[in-house]
Amino acid sequence: MKYFITFEGIEGCGKTTQISFLKDFLKKKNRSVITTREPGGTKIGDKIRRILLDSENTDIDIKTELLLYQASRAQHVKDVIRPALEQGCVVLCDRFTDATSVYQGFVQGISEDFLERLNRFTTDNLTPNLTVLIDCPVEIGLKRTEDRMKTTNQEVCENRFEEKSVEFHQMVRLGYLQIAEHNSNRFHIVDGREDISAVHREIRTAVIKKMAG
């Protein structure tokens, strides 16, 4: 059985922290685990990520943007995700195809059917077994992102999305909730307003249940 678990949500919802907690938990249970992210996850993908998230690239065309996400994903699936799944690793991935459906589809208007076909082409039909959506109000997410930016200058120029309007992030949140509703077998929605350990416990329970079933 393959375990491919993806994490989605608005900026600042807490994906990175929760992925790291879940990784530690699964490792303690003697599971082999890898964590990865999109865009990125490979050497080529990381270069593409820098182009995509560079705050100077405000004039990027939506088609260019979409194809760069897909280019990063194709490399990622082939070089990292599939090989890890084939070796029996649990793969925890920070964003995947649902992010495209929300950001490029729901928010920016690219056709849902077209994106579905493109995602299937790029991933050779790879679908996550479980997608954890950490849902939280935009004000909370953006405040956390702002605080993180103040304490770390690690990805200082990777803020093209954080600079978008509140309305943009609200649309993203709405898009995720809609996709989750339409794919309720695969999605598990967690309330991201809860404290970090409560969110972790809920994710842990959902993962254990999925693995048992």
Write down the least CB distance from residue 21 to ligand TMP, Å. Answer: 17
Spatial contact of 132 and 7, defined as CB atoms under 8 Å apart: yes
Write down the least CB distance from residue 7 to ligand TMP, Å. Answer: 9
Helix (H) or strand (E) holding 135: strand 130-135
Write down the least CB distance from residue 203 to ligand TMP, Å. Answer: 17
Which residue of this chain has its Cβ atom nearest to ligand TMP in the complex?
103
Please state, in angstroms and rounded to a whole number, the distance separating the CA atoms of residues 49 and 184.
29
User: What distance separates the 2 farthest-apart alpha carbons in the chain?
Assistant: 47
Residue placing its CB nearer to ligand TMP in the complex, 47 or 209: 47
Write down the least CB distance from residue 144 to ligand TMP, Å. Answer: 12
How many C-beta atoms lie closer than 10 Å to residue 18's C-beta? 24
Write down the least CB distance from residue 213 to ligand TMP, Å. Answer: 27
Radius of gyration of the chain (CA): 16
Residue placing its CB nearer to ligand TMP in the complex, 31 or 116: 116
Please state, in angstroms and rounded to a whole number, the distance separating the CA atoms of residues 201 and 32.
20
Contacts of 167 (CB under 8 A, 6+ apart): none
Residue placing its CB nearer to ligand TMP in the complex, 38 or 202: 38
Helix (H) or strand (E) holding 199: helix 196-212
- Phi, psi of 160, rounded to the nearest 5 degrees: -60, -35
Residue placing its CB nearer to ligand TMP in the complex, 57 or 211: 57
Residue placing its CB nearer to ligand TMP in the complex, 39 or 128: 39
* Chain residues in the site for ligand TMP (CB under 6 A): 11, 37-39, 69, 95, 99-100, 103-104, 161
Q: Which of 147, 145, 180 is nearest to 164 (CA)?
A: 145
Please state, in angstroms and rounded to a whole number, the distance separating the CA atoms of residues 157 and 56.
8
Residue placing its CB nearer to ligand TMP in the complex, 117 or 209: 117
Write down the least CB distance from residue 44 to ligand TMP, Å. Answer: 15
Please state, in angstroms and rounded to a whole number, the distance separating the CA atoms of residues 172 and 192.
15
